Structure formats: C-alpha cells, structure tokens
Amino acid sequence: MNRVRGSKSRHTGAGTRVVWFDGAFRVECTGHGPTLELAVYYGRYLMSQQPIGSIQEAWIRAGEICRVLADGDADLGALAAGRGA
C-alpha cells in the first residue's frame, strides 16, 4: 500500500476509506471517527465484516481472514464475530 501525504494534514470530516487486495480478496476499511469498519469481499460477495479500531489492526485482521478464506477452512460465523477460525 502506498501512502502519500501533503505538507499539511487537515481533518476534513469526510471520513476514511482505504482499499487493498489480498490475493483474490478486496479489503475495505472505512469509517468516520474512532471506529472503522473492516469488510472483506470475494468479487461482489461480502465474506466478512466487523468493527475495527485502527488501520494497523485492520491490516493484521484482514490478513488472518483472507488466509482462512483462501484455505477453505472458514467458519464464517467465527469470522463475522471476530474470533478467527
């Protein structure tokens, strides 16, 4: 993921949206304020969605979710609850 920041950083109130790919999965981290929402998609299908505290936490959690989904050992209920597989 590449990050580019200008010389001045201002909070505009527009919210946050970060999107990246992990293998065949598209990961989105969106939000406004202190809580973000992590969503993992396979094509147009939402595979997992959960609240997350930071972009760093989203990166780690998304990696875990995508690994489990790619291996085909997914317990989707556990993923949705944020418990892992």
Q: What is the pLDDT along the chain (85 residues), one digit of tens a residue?
A: 433 343 443 455 678 899 999 999 999 999 987 789 999 999 999 999 999 999 899 999 999 999 999 988 655 555 555 554 4
- Whether 55 maps to a domain, the answer reads yes
The DSSP H or E segment spanning 48 is: strand 45-52
Expressed as residue numbers, the domain containing 33 is: 16-81
The answer to whether residue 52 sits within a structural domain is yes
Asked whether residue 2 is domain-assigned, the answer is no
pTM higher than 0.85 for the full model? no
Smallest CA-to-CA distance from 75 within 67, 66, 85, 63 is with: 85
Does the residue 10 lie in any domain? Answer: no
How many structural domains comprise the chain? 1
- 70 backbone dihedrals φ, ψ, rounded to 5°: -65, -35
Residue 1 belongs to some domain of the structure: no
Residue 34 lies in a domain: yes
Tell me whether residue 43 is in a domain: yes
